Structure 1
Amino acid sequence: METFNLERGTAPLLISLPHDGSHIPADLAKRLRPAARRAPDTDWHVAKLYEPLAKDLGASVIKPVVSRYMVDLNRPADGHALYPGRRETGLVPTVGFDGEPLYLDGQEPDAEEIGQRIETWWRPYHQALAAELERLKAQHGHVVLWDGHSIRSHVPMLFEGRLPDFNLGTADGASCGAQLQWNLTGVMEAQSRYDFVLNGRFKGGYITRHYGNPAHGIEAVQLELAQSQYMNEESFAWDTTKAPMVQGTIRQLLQKCLE
Structure 2
Amino acid sequence: MDKVLSFHQGRLPLLVSMPHAGLKLTPAVRDGLVPAARSLPDTDWHIPRLYDFVRGMGASVVAAEYSRFVIDLNRPEDDQPLYVGATTGLFPATLFDGEPLFEHGKVPSAAERAGYLESIWRPYHDTLRNELARLKAEFGYALLWDAHSIRSHVPHLFDGKLPDFNLGTFNGASCDAELAERLKAVCAGALGYTHVLNGRFKGGHITRHYGDPAQDIHAVQLELAQSTYMEEVEPFTYREDLAEPTQGVLRGLLEEVLGWAQRRYN
- TM-score where L is the length of structure 2: 0.94
Partner Cα distance (2:8, 2:27) in 1: 27
Partner Cα distance (1:171, 1:99) in 2: 25
Return 207-216 or 25-34, whichever deviates more: 25-34
Partner Cα distance (1:206, 1:55) in 2: 24
2:28–2:108 contact (8 Å) kept in structure 1: no
Partner in structure 2 of residue 137 of structure 1: 136
Counterparts in 2 of 1:237-248, with a 5 A limit? Answer: 237-248=237-248
1:212 aligns with 2:200: no
Partner Cα distance (2:169, 2:213) in 1: 11
Q: CA deviation at 1:134?
A: 0.6
Q: CA deviation at 1:112?
A: 2.7
Secondary structure at 1:38 match in 2: coil
Q: CA deviation at 1:26?
A: 3.3
Partner in structure 1 of residue 30 of structure 2: 29
Secondary structure at 1:243 match in 2: helix
2:164–2:228 contact (8 Å) kept in structure 1: yes
Return 25-34 or 99-108, whichever deviates more: 25-34
- For 1:108-130, what per-residue CA distance to the aligned partner results, in whole angstroms no more than 9, with x for missing partners? 13433322211111011000110
Partner Cα distance (1:253, 1:191) in 2: 10
Secondary structure at 1:146 match in 2: strand
Return 20-29 or 240-249, whichever deviates more: 20-29
- For 1:147-181, what per-residue CA distance to the aligned partner results, in whole angstroms no more than 9, with x for missing partners? 00000000011001100010000000110001211
Q: Which amino acid aligns with 1:11?
A: L
1:19 aligns with 2:20: yes
Q: CA deviation at 1:186?
A: 1.1
User: Structure 1: which 5+ residue stretches go unaligned?
Assistant: none
Secondary structure at 1:51 match in 2: coil
Partner Cα distance (2:142, 2:121) in 1: 22
2:55–2:61 contact (8 Å) kept in structure 1: no
Q: CA deviation at 1:137?
A: 1.0
1:76–1:91 contact (8 Å) kept in structure 2: yes
User: Structure 2: which 5+ residue stretches go unaligned?
Assistant: 260-266
Q: CA deviation at 1:57?
A: 1.4
Q: CA deviation at 1:196?
A: 0.3
Q: CA deviation at 1:219?
A: 0.2
Partner in structure 2 of residue 49 of structure 1: 50
Return 26-35 or 92-101, whichever deviates more: 26-35
2:32–2:108 contact (8 Å) kept in structure 1: no
Partner in structure 1 of residue 86 of structure 2: 87
Q: CA deviation at 1:51?
A: 2.3
The number of aligned residues is 257
- For 1:54-78, what per-residue CA distance to the aligned partner results, in whole angstroms no more than 9, with x for missing partners? 1221000001111000000000000
Partner Cα distance (1:160, 1:49) in 2: 26
Q: Which amino acid aligns with 1:57?
A: M
Partner Cα distance (1:32, 1:182) in 2: 42
Q: CA deviation at 1:100?
A: 1.0
1:145–1:221 contact (8 Å) kept in structure 2: yes
Partner Cα distance (1:26, 1:34) in 2: 15
Partner in structure 1 of residue 264 of structure 2: none
Partner Cα distance (1:115, 1:132) in 2: 25
1:19–1:73 contact (8 Å) kept in structure 2: yes
Tell me the C-alpha RMSD between the 2 structures: 1.0
Counterparts in 2 of 1:216-255, with a 5 A limit? Answer: 216-234=215-233, 235-255=235-255
Partner Cα distance (2:190, 2:230) in 1: 21
Return 25-34 or 204-213, whichever deviates more: 25-34
Partner Cα distance (2:161, 2:155) in 1: 9
Q: CA deviation at 1:34?
A: 1.8
1:51–1:61 contact (8 Å) kept in structure 2: no
Partner in structure 1 of residue 108 of structure 2: 109
Q: Which amino acid aligns with 2:40?
A: A
